């Protein structure tokens, strides 16, 4: 994928986190864990990401997880919580 082909990003969160996002912005996993929030993350996936480092960068959990397409495996696995999930479109 080329950079000019990217038209949008999506952020998936629990709907109750929207007030905090409006006040503080979208936060990385590590920064969000310092605040009261409702996580929709799968703990087994987060455990695998705990010790991952972005090549030439910081630990993976210091970045915000954005998606090119909101209809992805993570959203599919959380389909039973569809009424509690919000997808924020970032252009």
- Number of domains the chain contains: 1
Q: What's the pLDDT score for residue 61?
A: 96
Question: Residues of the chain whose pLDDT is less than 70?
Answer: none
What DSSP letter does each residue of 64-77 carry, written as one string? ---BS-SSSHHHHH
* Residue 24 pLDDT: 96
Q: Domain range spanning residue 8?
A: 3-90
User: What pTM does this model have?
Assistant: 0.85
**11 neighbors 86 (Cβ within 8 angstroms):** no
For residue 1, the model assigns a pLDDT of: 81
- Mean model confidence pLDDT for the chain: 92
Q: How far apart are CA 45 and CA 48, in angstroms?
A: 5
């Amino acid at each position: 994928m080329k950079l000019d082909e990217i038209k949008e990003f999506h952020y998936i969160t629990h709907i109750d986190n929207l007030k905090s996002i409006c006040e503080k912005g979208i936060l990385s996993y590590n920064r969000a864990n310092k605040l009261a929030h409702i996580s929709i993350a799968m703990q087994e996936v987060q455990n695998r990401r705990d010790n991952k480092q972005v090549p030439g960068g910081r630990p993976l959990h210091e970045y915000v997880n954005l998606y090119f397409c909101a209809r992805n495996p993570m959203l599919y696995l959380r389909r039973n919580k569809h009424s509690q999930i919000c997808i924020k479109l970032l252009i």
